[in-house]
Homo-oligomer: A and B are copies of this chain.
Amino acid sequence: MIHLNRISTEPPKRWEKKETKEKLSELHKELFELQNKFFADGRHALLIVLQGMDTSGKDGTIRHALACMNPMGIETKSFRMPTKEEGDHDFLWRIYPHLPAKGMISVFNRSHYEDVLVPTVAKSIPEAGLRHRLELINALERHWVSSGIGVLKFYLHIDQGEQKERLAERKQDPQKRWKYDAADDVAAKHWDHYRKAYEQVLSGCNDVPWNIIPANKRWCRNYSVAKVVRDHLDSLELKYPRKRASAKRKRAQ
């Protein structure tokens, strides 16, 4: 069982801000090239799942860790409160259309995990139902991996003090105020409930393992996420194929 309070939210010892930021710039160049090869190679897909408490930096991670990517090869999907139509389906219905095609990277800003976390805190689904969802997610994520989709799951780990500071900043900074939602304050009051819900999800849905990223420092978070993505792409032994991969790239004619 994972205990988030025992896992550091701060950068590893000896990591320096300036040096890490320089290393991130280098990673961006590598990612730009690797992504091109990944797209050309066309044998794999990649799903990046970003989860974390409010203000943990999901948007910021996309903006600062992944904005080096060619938009042709990456799609981002934010999962918000289910719409009426989404709510009329099972919880995975809205997820499926956004899975990445071969050669593509999909980033889920929140994900299917919201439909375990929120009902856990709200106690709107009985425990057996929640367990069933966890089992289903495990089975499905394994299936995705065996179908050629790399699944990189990130929990952006901040502590409660950091959240309080960021919420205050969000309300005051004219460039961030537009992100503030009164619901953030409500959720903040349930910090411990959400932490426990996350602990269940991180422990119970680890068949495809989670990356728990110390995220109190944005520079540490950005570099850490980018590095996991780089290492994953690098491990695939990507090649520029000799021939056009498939008909899907065929141009209109």
Contact = CB atoms under 8 A, between A and B. Distances in A.
A253 B81 contact: yes
Given A251-B110, A252-B114, A244 B179 contact: yes
A92 to B, nearest CB: 14
Instruction: State the number of copies, please.
Output: 2
Given A32-B67, A74-B71, A244-B178, A110 B252 contact: yes
Interface residues of A, number: 51
Nearest to A73: B76
A178 B63 contact: no
Interface stretch (A151-159, A212-220, A235-243): A235-243
Interface stretch (A6-14, A126-134, A141-149, A180-188): A180-188
Contact of A253 (B63, B72, B118, B177): B118
Given A59-B72, A183-B253, 12 more contacts: A62-B71, A67-B71, A71-B74, A71-B75, A71-B107, A81-B251, A82-B252, A178-B244, A181-B244, A181-B249, A181-B251, A183-B250
14 contacts: A42-B178, A54-B251, A63-B70, A67-B70, A67-B71, A71-B74, A72-B78, A80-B249, A81-B251, A81-B252, A82-B252, A179-B244, A180-B244, A183-B253
